[in-house]
């Protein structure tokens, strides 16, 4: 079984993925490290380089994502995935095309390869997609407080465009069931116990499919008695 966790930077995907992996004894696949991508520095060298390297950059992301998925399927068991291949193609690669950093022919080539990969056994849809979303101002505030240096230096216009693409993508997503969580209600950094509420919703969505032995310690919340 595979559970996907989707959402833009600042929504807490990795924090939630780690918490649910510990809570239910799931294996976890985190997003690949930037240093593993040989095209990244070239892409960010300047406007001309962005146009020159946009396609190979996104093809690298796509290839490594599907290689990771193939390994996960081969290992078997239950997994939680921090960011999915759907986002790679349908949000980030599409965004580069919409910004004019990919030509129409390059975008057509990318989409044709992506469409073929979707038919591979590795790309079977998750049992459930968890989508973390919220108002742009809240997400931008969290990026400013908790983000990497490069993320904190990124303009709000970029985050606004990304936020819009994510919201459109989520509204049109039909590959599997989607559980939408508002980051205003579930901030695991400031309230780690909020994972209990999310775990309860997952048990409802995936009754009988989650591991029977849960590995999280008992909740420490105090109950009020009359």
In a domain, 210, yes or no: no
Is residue 176, in this structure, part of any structural domain at all? yes
Half-sphere exposure of 208 (CA within 13 A, CB side): 0
Three-state secondary-structure class, residue 193: coil
pLDDT at position 175 = 92
* 221 part of a folded domain: no
Distance from chain centroid for Cα 192? 20
pLDDT (tens digit per residue) in 7-47? 998 898 999 999 999 988 899 988 765 667 788 888 888 88
How far is it, in rounded angstroms, from Cα 156 to Cα 185?
23
**Is there a domain that residue 212 lies in?**
no
Beta strands in 59-148 (DSSP E): 79-82, 128-133
Whether 220 is in a domain gets the answer: no
218 assigned to some structural domain: no
Cα dihedral 77, 80, 84, 86 sign: positive
CATH number for the domain including 121?
3.40.50.300
The continuous run of DSSP H or E covering 27 comes out as strand 27-29
Residue 225 lies in a domain: no
**How many structural domains comprise the chain?**
1
Comparing CA positions, the residue from 23, 10, 24 lying closest to residue 142 is 10
Residues identified as active-site? 82
| C-alpha distance from residue 66 to each of 41, 59, 113, 149 (Å) | 22, 11, 12, 28
Residue that is written with structure tokens 């695991």 in the block: 188
**Structural domain of residue 45, as residue ranges?**
2-205
Q: Kindly report the average pLDDT of the chain as a whole number.
A: 86
105 found inside a domain:
yes
Q: 146-205 pLDDT, tens per residue?
A: 777 778 888 899 899 999 999 999 999 999 999 999 999 888 888 888 888 898 898 888
């Amino acid at each position: 079984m595979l559970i996907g966790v989707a959402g833009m930077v600042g929504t807490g995907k990795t924090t939630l993925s780690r918490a649910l992996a510990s809570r239910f004894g799931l294996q976890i696949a985190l997003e690949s490290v930037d240093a593993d991508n040989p095209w990244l520095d070239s892409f960010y060298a300047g406007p001309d380089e962005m146009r020159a390297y946009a396609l190979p950059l996104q093809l690298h992301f796509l290839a490594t994502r599907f290689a990771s998925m193939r390994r996960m399927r081969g290992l078997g068991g239950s997994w939680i995935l921090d960011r999915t291949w759907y986002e790679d193609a349908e949000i980030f690669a599409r965004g580069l095309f919409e910004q004019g950093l990919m030509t129409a022919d390059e975008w057509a080539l990318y989409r044709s390869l992506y469409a073929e990969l979707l038919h591979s056994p590795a790309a079977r849809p998750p049992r459930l997609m968890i989508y973390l979303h919220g108002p742009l101002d809240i997400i931008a505030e969290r990026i400013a407080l908790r983000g990497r240096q490069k993320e904190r230096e990124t303009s709000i216009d970029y985050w606004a465009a990304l936020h819009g693409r994510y919201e459109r993508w989520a509204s049109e997503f039909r590959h599997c069931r989607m559980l939408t969580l508002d980051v205003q209600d579930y901030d695991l950094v400031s309230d780690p116990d909020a994972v209990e509420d999310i775990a309860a919703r997952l048990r409802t969505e995936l009754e009988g499919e989650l591991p029977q032995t849960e590995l999280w310690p008992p909740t420490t919340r105090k109950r009020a008695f009359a």
